Amino acid sequence: MSDHRREPGPAVPPQAPDTEPPALNVDRLLVVTAGSAFATGMPYWVDWIRLSYPDLEIKLVLTRTARRFVTRQALAGRLHRVGEVLFDEWPEDEATARHVEWAEWAQAVMVYPATFHFTARLALGLADSPALLACHCTRAPVAVAPALPPGGLESAAFQTHWAALAARPNLVLVPPHPGISLTTGRAEAWVPPLLPEAVSMLEHRRAELEAGRPGPPATPAQFAADLARS
Predicted structure pTM score: 0.87
Mean pLDDT over 170-190 rounds to: 92
Q: For residue 148, give the DSSP letter.
A: B
Mean pLDDT over 28-46 rounds to: 97
| Residue type (1 letter), 68 | R
111: left (phi over 0), alpha (psi -120 to 50) or beta: beta
The DSSP bridge partners found for residue 60 are 31, 85
d(CA 1, CA 44): 29
Going by their DSSP bridges, the two strands 177-179 and 171-173 should be labelled as: unpaired
Residue 176's pLDDT band, with cuts at 50, 70 and 90, is very high
Q: For residue 187, give the DSSP letter.
A: S
Q: Is 31 helix (H, G, I), strand (E, B) or coil?
A: strand
C-alpha distances out from residue 14 to 9, 63, 91, 145, Å: 10, 21, 33, 15
Cβ atoms within 10 Å of 223's Cβ, excluding its own: 15
d(CA 162, CA 227): 10
pLDDT at 159 over 80: yes
Residue 15's pLDDT band, with cuts at 50, 70 and 90, is low
Residue 2's pLDDT band, with cuts at 50, 70 and 90, is very low
Q: Give burial (CB, 10 Å; 0-12/13-18/19+) of 58.
A: buried
| Residue type (1 letter), 137 | C
Cβ atoms within 10 Å of 196's Cβ, excluding its own: 19
User: Among 122-126, 132-136, 159-163, where is mean pLDDT lowest?
Assistant: 159-163
- Answer yes or no: are the C-beta atoms of 122 and 144 closer than 8 Å: yes
Residue 48's pLDDT band, with cuts at 50, 70 and 90, is very high
Going by their DSSP bridges, the two strands 177-179 and 189-191 should be labelled as: antiparallel
Higher pLDDT, 19 or 173: 173
- Answer yes or no: are the C-beta atoms of 149 and 116 closer than 8 Å: yes
C-alpha distances out from residue 121 to 68, 110, 117, 124, 164, Å: 20, 16, 6, 5, 11
Mean pLDDT over 69-80 rounds to: 93
d(CA 51, CA 94): 32
Residue 92's pLDDT band, with cuts at 50, 70 and 90, is confident
pLDDT at 11 over 70: no
Please report the pLDDT score of residue 1 as a whole number: 37
Please report the pLDDT score of residue 45 as a whole number: 97
